[in-house]
Amino acid sequence: MKPRLIVLDDEQRMVDILAMVFRREGYEVHACVDVQAALGALRAEPFDVLITDLKMPGNDGLTVLQHAKAVDPELPVILITAHATVATALAAMRHGAFDYVEKPFDNDELKTLVRRALDVTRLTRENRYLRAELRTRYQSDALVAESTAMQEVLDLVRRAARSRSTVLITGESGVGKEVIARAVHYHSDRVSGPFVAVNCKAFAESVLESELFGHERGAFTGADRAKPGLFERAEGGTLFLDEIAEVSTDFQGKLLRVLQERRFYRVGGTTEHTADVRLVAATNRDLRANVAAGRFREDLYFRLAVIPMHLPPLRERREDILPLARHFLAKWNSELSRRVAGWTAEVEAYLLRYSWPGNVRELENAIERGVVLAQGDTIEQRDMLIEMETETTASDTGQRTENLQTFLDRAATEHVRAVLKEVGGVRAEAAKRLGIERTTLYRLMRKYGIAES
């Protein structure tokens, strides 16, 4: 879309010249010789830059500036002034004018000034858009949390974000630990800085050290140039270390030093760098148990867990299941350009009954699958690719002999076994069909005593 300029001057000849100059540059120009007409145009539609004369009969550029800023506080205003009114132009800049040019001005000078103003307009709007996107996606008010347990977590997020203290987020795979980490970042005073996430489990120890701290040229074979690490990329923002329990004890010592001293060296380097980052770590393991077993340093644990946050599994906060499902339905309708209105009562009963071992991630996968495969405007059982478990009873009276958790565990065991049987014991394919990671499948097989084929 063409940049839109509004030009105001009481001299028709000057307005015509300016309009011609900027239309040749490819801009859309709204030319005015009347102050009220210009202000009316500003109120009626958006513009990117206002160019106005400073002195006009019965009006002045300062009044126009004030009215324009009242309509759009971020609109760049360029003043055209005679030599005698330069002092007034400088005063106008203190009141929010972008810049001024002095008559007689060079057209190229004014065109350069307008390009600079347009750059400011573009950056301001991009920043506003990105902050709105961040607010929509990660502010805690927008997170789906109907259960008391998750409301307490979000309250802790808001309070913890005010500090720069490290945060340790624990919980099973798929509960939404990175979403909470991003919410901590959003609510902090570091929101204008970067949020950098890394999965520690995805890198070998030597590679992880280079990824986090960076390396200098020649530090190792293949290091043909210097590379800043994630600590440097996260400068002024938040660094999220997921799967922190998977790093070696040697690397734990190096990380502890950075947290204590807020300084580090690149691999192969001799220059000390500062670490102005807010660190948030996460794990699906019991770090206290790892400390007791000697697999995790106790001093690092206490450095990380200044503010601990535990996210309960989805099966323990069932009030969140349907709100989350509706949220994912809207999301995937939008992303896939579908118009699925909802699901059958049979599907809803399954959503509430299923134990969701893959937690929120598995629920989202299930809803996405339903949206993709739905043949009408309602998700049906066959669209979810699931088999509804039959409810067992103790007697003809219909009274149950097993509690809810036992029932859910039994149903999950039968479901995992059935899927493994369907795919001939190929665990990668079984995990894909279940909508969970292979590591989660292995954990479930151990938990439910399902023999490996």
- Global pTM? 0.59
pLDDT digits (tens, 9 = 90+) for 301-331: 999 999 999 999 999 999 999 999 999 999 9
Query: Which residue matches tokens 């390396």?
Result: 215
Instruction: For residue range 225-279, list pLDDT tens digits in order.
Output: 888 899 999 999 999 999 999 999 999 999 999 999 999 999 999 888 888 999 9
pLDDT, tens digit, for every residue of 127-156? Answer: 665 555 555 555 554 578 889 999 999 999
Count, residues in the chain: 453
Parallel, antiparallel or unpaired: strands 59-60 and 77-81: unpaired
pLDDT of residue 141: 47
The predicted model gives 354-379 an average pLDDT of 93
Indicate the range of 199-213, 293-307, 337-351 predicted with least confidence.
Answer: 199-213
Q: For residue 71, name the pLDDT band (cuts at 50, 70, 90).
A: confident
Closest CA to 280 of 187, 203, 372: 187
Mean pLDDT taken over the chain? 85
Measured distance CA(416)–CA(449) in Å, rounded:
11
Residue 211 has pLDDT above 70, yes or no: yes
Averaged pLDDT for residues 152-161: 93
Pairing of strands 195-199, 342-343: unpaired
What SS3 state is found at 386? coil
**Whole-number Cα distances in Å, 180 to 135, 153, 280, 361, 381:** 13, 9, 10, 14, 32
Residue 392 has pLDDT above 80, yes or no: no
User: Long-range contacts for 92-101 (Cβ within 8 Å, ≥24 apart)?
Assistant: 92/54, 92/61, 92/62, 92/65, 95/62, 95/65, 95/66, 95/69, 96/65, 96/69, 97/61, 97/65, 98/49, 100/54
Q: For a pLDDT cut of 90, what percent of the chain falls above it? A: 47
- How sure is the predictor about 399, in pLDDT bands with cuts at 50, 70 and 90? very low
Amino acid, single-letter form, for residue 362: E
Question: Domains in the chain, start-ordered, CATH in brackets?
Answer: 4-133 (3.40.50.2300), 140-312 (3.40.50.300), 315-447 (1.10.8.60)
Cα distance between residue 186 and residue 118, in whole Å? 28
On whether the CB atoms of residues 189 and 236 are closer than 8 A, the answer is no
Best CA proximity match to 420, nearest among 450, 381, 384: 450
At 126, the pLDDT band (50, 70, 90 cuts) reads low
Burial call 76-105: b when 16+ CB within 10 Å, e when fewer:
bbbbbbeeebeebbeebeeeebbbbbeeee
In the chain, what is the straight-line distance between the N-terminal and C-terminal CA atoms, in Å? 61
Cα 364–Cα 365–Cα 368 angle in degrees, nearest 5? 85
| pLDDT computed for residue 181 by the predictor | 95
